[in-house]
């Protein structure tokens, strides 16, 4: 088979299509003929910074958001069979720790994520596959897992409901767009920010109620407060946007944090935090049942995942270049 592999660390120039051995289905596994795989900033961090990948692991095949058709199954697999159209939940858990027993599975002590979807075929845990309805195509399905699961779980953890005002700094990336769309499904209102007027115009068509064209934390804070204090901040940026996200919360407001794209450390104002009963919530990914609910939303026509661009396997390097240049709004999907 062919796969788009990272042959070095540093830039999209190191993404090359190379031959690999066809995978086989071990007990408990299924082999998918991959029809679509979207890329995420997690993949870009591996490529750019070598995140959790050692040099002796190169060439390395990334890709977590995998949709396709089952081509073979291993022993003891009864949940799927060859010919099934499926979507992979990329969560990998131990199944035995207290968090796997009691839930949610995202708290697993050895929680990890699948990689290997940027290829013509992929061997995966069969129990992590979700059958796709006929009304959900593979490209839309591949746009869902990482970004939409993450956004969905954050909104759930922050108890977002109808009428709530939700602040989404950096709202035109994958998680940001998903948050705006899902908040709209929940009946909440959103404030989204971006440095691109064009992207903000598109964001409004996706359900954003207020948009702010700025990347400056102080300017964003002032603009949000002019609209009004918010019930919830959904923060996938970290860095200086965490302090802004806290500052604009109403009394009793909540901020869910899932990332550190803008920096690994942040400042919190302690007095404001405890005197105003604000809550900070850490959140990673979502559960397999969350993903099943998201697929149902797409099948019912209540959610339309945003795919900005589609690429062939040979153009995977360009997909990463476009992500690195921040040219996209929504998901970038490779179709092997």
Q: pLDDT of 15-25, one tens digit each?
A: 999 999 999 99
**176 domain-assigned:** yes
* Same-domain pairing of 73 and 120: yes
What per-residue confidence (pLDDT) applies to 291?
Answer: 98
Tokens found for residue 331: 């998901």
What per-residue confidence (pLDDT) applies to 166?
Answer: 98
The model's confidence at residue 164, banded by pLDDT at 50, 70 and 90, is very high
The model's confidence at residue 335, banded by pLDDT at 50, 70 and 90, is very high
CA separation, residue 164 to residues 131, 204, 212, 220, 231 (Å): 33, 17, 18, 19, 6
**294 domain-assigned:** no
* Same-domain pairing of 29 and 86: yes
Ordered DSSP codes for 178-243: HHHHHHHHTT-EEEEEES-HHHHHHHHHTT-SEEEE---HHHHHHHHHHH--EEEEEESSBTTHHH
The mean of the pLDDT values for the chain is: 95
**69 domain-assigned:** yes
The model's confidence at residue 3, banded by pLDDT at 50, 70 and 90, is very high
* Same-domain pairing of 79 and 197: no
**133 domain-assigned:** yes
Count of structural domains, the chain: 2
**298 domain-assigned:** no
* Same-domain pairing of 14 and 92: yes
The model's confidence at residue 315, banded by pLDDT at 50, 70 and 90, is very high
What is the percent of the chain where pLDDT is above 90?
93
- The CATH number given to whatever domain includes residue 168 is 3.90.180.10
* Same-domain pairing of 207 and 136: no
**287 domain-assigned:** no
* Same-domain pairing of 39 and 131: yes
**233 domain-assigned:** yes
* Same-domain pairing of 197 and 262: yes
The model's confidence at residue 283, banded by pLDDT at 50, 70 and 90, is very high
pLDDT tens across 67-93, in order? 999 999 999 999 999 999 999 999 999
* Same-domain pairing of 138 and 152: no
CA dihedral over 92, 1, 49, 256, signed as positive or negative = negative
Q: Which residue range is the domain that position 103 belongs to?
A: 2-143+306-335
Contact 196, 171 (CB under 8 A): no
Contact 190, 183 (CB under 8 A): yes
**Phi and psi based region of residue 277 (left: phi greater than 0; alpha: psi -120 to 50; beta: remaining):** left
Residues 93, 129: Cα–Cα separation, whole Å: 14
The model's confidence at residue 51, banded by pLDDT at 50, 70 and 90, is confident
Q: Is the pLDDT of residue 55 over 90?
A: no
Q: What is the DSSP letter of 136?
A: S
CA dihedral over 333, 178, 306, 300, signed as positive or negative = positive
What per-residue confidence (pLDDT) applies to 203?
Answer: 95
Full-model pTM: 0.94
**297 domain-assigned:** no
Tokens found for residue 99: 């968090």
> What φ, ψ does residue 296 adopt, rounded to 5°?
-65, -40
* Same-domain pairing of 192 and 277: yes
Contact 161, 187 (CB under 8 A): yes
Kindly give, in sequence order, each residue whose CB lies less than 8 Å from that of residue 190, ignoring residues fewer than 6 positions away: 165, 166, 167, 168, 171, 179, 180, 183, 184, 207, 208, 209, 210
Q: In sequence order, which ranges of the chain are alpha helices (DSSP H)?
A: 41-49, 98-102, 138-142, 145-157, 174-185, 197-205, 217-227, 241-247, 270-275, 288-299, 316-324
Q: Is the pLDDT of residue 103 over 90?
A: no
* Same-domain pairing of 57 and 130: yes
User: Between vectors from CA 196 to CA 239 and to CA 13, what angle results, nearest 5°?
Assistant: 75
Q: Is the pLDDT of residue 173 over 90?
A: no
* Same-domain pairing of 129 and 154: no
Q: Is the pLDDT of residue 56 over 90?
A: no
The model's confidence at residue 261, banded by pLDDT at 50, 70 and 90, is confident
What is the percent of the chain where pLDDT is above 70?
100
* Same-domain pairing of 74 and 163: no
């Amino acid at each position: 088979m062919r796969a788009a592999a990272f042959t070095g660390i540093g830039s999209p120039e190191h993404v090359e299509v190379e031959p690999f051995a066809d995978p086989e289905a071990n007990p408990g596994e299924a082999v998918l003929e991959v029809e679509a795989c979207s890329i995420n900033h997690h993949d870009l961090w591996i490529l750019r910074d070598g995140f959790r990948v050692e040099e002796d692991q190169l060439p390395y095949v990334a890709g977590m958001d995998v949709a396709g058709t089952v081509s073979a199954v291993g022993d003891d697999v009864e949940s799927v069979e060859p010919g099934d159209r499926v979507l992979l939940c990329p969560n990998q858990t131990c199944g035995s720790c207290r968090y796997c027993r009691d839930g949610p599975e995202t708290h697993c002590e050895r929680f990890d994520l699948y990689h290997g979807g940027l290829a013509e075929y992929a061997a995966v845990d069969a129990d992590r596959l979700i059958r796709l309805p006929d009304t959900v195509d593979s490209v839309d399905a591949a746009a869902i897992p990482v970004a939409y699961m993450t956004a969905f779980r954050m909104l759930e953890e922050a108890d977002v409901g109808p009428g709530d005002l939700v602040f989404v700094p950096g709202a035109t990336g994958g998680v940001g767009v998903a948050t705006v769309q899902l908040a709209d499904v929940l009946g909440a209102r959103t404030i989204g920010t971006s440095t691109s007027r064009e992207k903000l115009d598109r964001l409004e068509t996706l359900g954003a109620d207020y948009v702010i064209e700025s990347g400056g934390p102080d300017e964003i804070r002032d603009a949000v407060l002019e609209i009004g204090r918010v019930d919830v901040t959904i923060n996938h940026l970290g860095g200086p946007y965490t302090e802004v996200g806290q500052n604009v919360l109403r009394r009793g407001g909540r901020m869910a944090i899932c990332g550190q794209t803008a920096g690994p450390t942040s400042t919190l104002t302690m007095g404001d935090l405890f005197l105003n009963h604000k809550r900070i919530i850490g959140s990673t990914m979502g559960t397999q049942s969350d993903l099943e609910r998201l697929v149902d939303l797409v099948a019912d026509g209540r959610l339309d995942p945003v795919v900005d661009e589609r690429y062939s396997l040979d153009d995977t390097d360009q997909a990463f270049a476009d992500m690195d240049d921040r040219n996209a709004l929504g998901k970038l999907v490779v179709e092997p």
